[in-house]
Chain A
Amino acid sequence: MASIDIANIQKSYGIHPVLHDVDLKIGDGEFVVLVGPSGCGKSTLLRMIAGLESVTSGEIRIAGRRVNELAPKDRDIAMVFQSYALYPHMSVAKNMSYSLRLRKTAKEKIASIVSSAAAKLGLDPLLERRPRALSGGQRQRVAMGRAIVREPKAFLFDEPLSNLDARLREQMRAEIKKLHKDLGATSIYVTHDQIEAMTLADRIVAMNGGFVQQVGSPLDLYDRPANLFVAGFIGSPGMNFFEGTYLNGTAPRFETEGGVVIPAQPHPALTDGARATLGIRPEHVEIGAEAPDALKATVDLVEPTGFGIILHLSFGRSGFKAFTNDRRFLNASGSLPVRLPVERLHFFNAAGNRV
């Protein structure tokens, strides 16, 4: 187990930069999730930590030791690939013990380590099978088993669950979390799925376009997204945005482009008449409240999810969503009174940063 320091890392392929100045300190035993849309450079960063990609500039340290020039085999890390990358010509047991055999571990020791890892992952009855005779979920477990037999300094995961169906994904997600609790190993986990990020992470690193957008605890990112990208990426259904103008004065308010006036709290960082974006999460939109400051919204569509209801609403031409558990709204139509509580509003300046 070890800490991992990433200092001013840059990566370019030829003249194409894919990572800009990434700076990150990962503590001993921490579970960090790199999340962002496809192509934002998450895998590249992870592979640089693993030693599978060269570092264009900057420094990576594992347990305080610079590893930029170190071969993957000398970094003492384990990695779970999205494709699982099981060795097709080896049995499950041989797959799991390959790293130990390369290190010339004693036979008896290998046997006991493999059987305890297999027990942990429920792989006992499969040890003699070849990977092609396993289901997707079982292959995923073998890939995990191969990583844990070694007690490495850190675990790296590159979208390990994205080839599984939804039910299995949920189950494995919980198992990974449990495994991390048991082993307490430093882990870096790459995913494009914000739910995985929220549920697994001690700390989330949100990335976009090769830049780190925000680093923080899952609830930090949910409650105080640093910019429009993070605000839109975290949470489902995604945050509603309205573009418009912030108006100061005795009653601070926000006027959308469609002319809807939304009461707001005073924002010292926004000047009177400043262009801004207002954000509010669907689950924070209050509907059906007959309050004096209620606004009228048109109901466009009702989507029941079982757990709750997603209402597609609009102020004139600007649509937004509301989420509620109240089944009274299943048959909502026409127009509804809507309140956007001031303490739930997020404001972003013209540059897209939180104010």
Chain B
Amino acid sequence: MRAKPLFLTIAHRLAILAYIAFALFPLYWLLKVAVTPNDLLYSEGIRLWPSHASLEHFDFVLRHSAFPVFFRNSLIVSGSTAVIVTILASLSGYALSRFNFRGKYWLVALMLLTQMFPLVMLVAPIFKILSPLGLTNSLTGLVIVYTAFNVPFATFLMQSFFDGIPKDLEEAAMIDGATQFVAFRQIILPLTLPGIAATLGFVFTAAWSELLFSLMLISGNDQATFPVGLLSFVSKFSVDFGQMMAAGVLALIPACLFFLLIQRYLVQGLTAGAVKG
């Protein structure tokens, strides 16, 4: 390969740097405000780092606000949604990828259709459905709604991962003595780990940051998830930016941890070596 001219390399790096700075700046600002003591927030003008940083907002948020409850609720809702959706999507994605059955075309069309409506249109009917079932103001209700909304897209996502795995593999397993389900579990699923990780991550973050339904279906602090909780830092007369940002920083932690855990599956092509020479 010919070496690229130096200035092209530099231009390339600069472009990437500019993009990263642009994308990460809001996060940086979040952190900056979170560590700025209240008395400096409005007095110092605009500067990149406060003259004196403190963790007082974090301390307050963790010890004196309802934030830990929001956080726990969010973890429960997002975690359960991610797990349930991924299990359902693995099964349905596998079916779409491998089986031909009557009505398959219509099923796919229907699933696409569900993705076409703005969610706002559905809030009222869903509230109407859930309320007699006692599922409003409950985490279970939220999990059900999120699951319903995420399954179609997650199914397509999983289907594309299954499509990438040669059919020969499970046929070989079936000839080796496995049933279709055992072949799915022992051969196909382990190879789909990257796909499963991607789906888990996608659904988890979607549920983690969902505001609309959480706001509409939940009233009161006990069952609120953290996006709704963030709003509680907005009072009638002022916004407590420092605390709000500190809560925001804390809320980033699980998402980051989650991606750290799964990133090794996201970048790895596990199927290498299955076929051909």
Query: Which A residues are within 8 Å of any B CB, using their own CB?
Result: 50-52, 71-73, 77-79, 81, 83-89, 98-99, 102-103, 130-137, 139-140, 146, 150, 163-164
Task: List B contacts of A88 (CB < 8 A).
Answer: 191, 270-274
Chain A residue nearest to B275 in the complex (CB): A83
Q: Is the CB of B176 within 8 A of A81?
A: no
Q: Is the CB of B178 within 8 A of A102?
A: yes
Q: Does chain A have a CB within 8 A of B220?
A: no
**Contact partner, B273, options A86, A103, A137, A163, Cβ 8 Å:** A86
Q: Is the CB of A52 within 8 A of B174?
A: yes
Query: Which B residues are within 8 Å of any A CB, using their own CB?
Result: 166, 168-169, 171-179, 182, 187, 190-191, 270-277
**Contact partner, A85, options B169, B177, B191, Cβ 8 Å:** B169
Q: Is the CB of A72 within 8 A of B273?
A: no
Query: Within the assembled complex, what's the spacing in Å between the Cα atoms of A77 and B176?
Result: 8
Query: Within the assembled complex, what's the spacing in Å between the Cα atoms of A83 and B277?
Result: 8
Q: Is the CB of A50 within 8 A of B175?
A: yes
Q: A85-B169, A88-B272 are in contact. List 12 more A-B contacts (CB 8 A).
A: A79-B175, A86-B275, A88-B274, A89-B191, A98-B173, A102-B176, A130-B273, A132-B272, A132-B274, A139-B277, A140-B277, A163-B277
Task: List A contacts of B179 (CB < 8 A).
Answer: 71, 73
Q: Is the CB of B182 within 8 A of A102?
A: yes
Chain B residue nearest to A130 in the complex (CB): B273
Query: Within the assembled complex, what's the spacing in Å between the Cα atoms of A86 and B182?
Result: 16
Q: Is the CB of B166 within 8 A of A83?
A: yes
Q: Is the CB of A73 within 8 A of B275?
A: no
Q: Is the CB of A131 within 8 A of B274?
A: yes
Q: Is the CB of B273 within 8 A of A131?
A: yes
Smallest CB separation, B10 vs chain A (Å): 37
Task: List A contacts of B176 (CB < 8 A).
Answer: 73, 98-99, 102, 146, 150
Given known contacts A81-B168, A88-B272, A73 and B175 CB-to-CB distance under 8 angstroms: yes
Q: How many A-B residue pairs have CB under 8 A?
A: 90
Smallest CB separation, B273 vs chain A (Å): 2
**Contact partner, B275, options A79, A84, A130, Cβ 8 Å:** A84
Q: List 15 A-B contacts (CB under 8 A).
A: A73-B176, A81-B168, A81-B172, A85-B168, A85-B171, A85-B274, A85-B275, A86-B273, A87-B274, A88-B191, A89-B270, A99-B176, A102-B177, A132-B273, A164-B277
Smallest CB separation, A69 vs chain B (Å): 15
Q: Is the CB of B275 within 8 A of A72?
A: no
Q: Is the CB of A81 within 8 A of B171?
A: yes
Query: Within the assembled complex, what's the spacing in Å between the Cα atoms of A99 and B175?
Result: 8
Smallest CB separation, A48 vs chain B (Å): 13
Query: Within the assembled complex, what's the spacing in Å between the Cα atoms of A133 and B272?
Result: 9
Query: Within the assembled complex, what's the spacing in Å between the Cα atoms of A208 and B216?
Result: 67
Q: Is the CB of A133 within 8 A of B273?
A: yes
Query: Within the assembled complex, what's the spacing in Å between the Cα atoms of A150 and B270?
Result: 27
Chain A residue nearest to B273 in the complex (CB): A132
Q: Is the CB of A87 within 8 A of B173?
A: yes
Chain B residue nearest to A168 in the complex (CB): B277
Query: Within the assembled complex, what's the spacing in Å between the Cα atoms of A84 and B171?
Result: 11
Query: Within the assembled complex, what's the spacing in Å between the Cα atoms of A163 and B182?
Result: 29
Query: Within the assembled complex, what's the spacing in Å between the Cα atoms of A98 and B173?
Result: 8
Smallest CB separation, B191 vs chain A (Å): 6
- Most B CB contacts (10 A, CB to CB) among A85, A131, A133 go to A85
Q: Is the CB of B177 within 8 A of A99?
A: yes
Query: Within the assembled complex, what's the spacing in Å between the Cα atoms of A81 and B274?
Result: 11
Chain B residue nearest to A82 in the complex (CB): B168
Query: Within the assembled complex, what's the spacing in Å between the Cα atoms of A72 and B183?
Result: 12
Task: List B contacts of A85 (CB < 8 A).
Answer: 166, 168-169, 171-172, 274-275
Query: Within the assembled complex, what's the spacing in Å between the Cα atoms of A85 and B176?
Result: 12
Query: Within the assembled complex, what's the spacing in Å between the Cα atoms of A25 and B175?
Result: 22
Query: Within the assembled complex, what's the spacing in Å between the Cα atoms of A96 and B174?
Result: 14
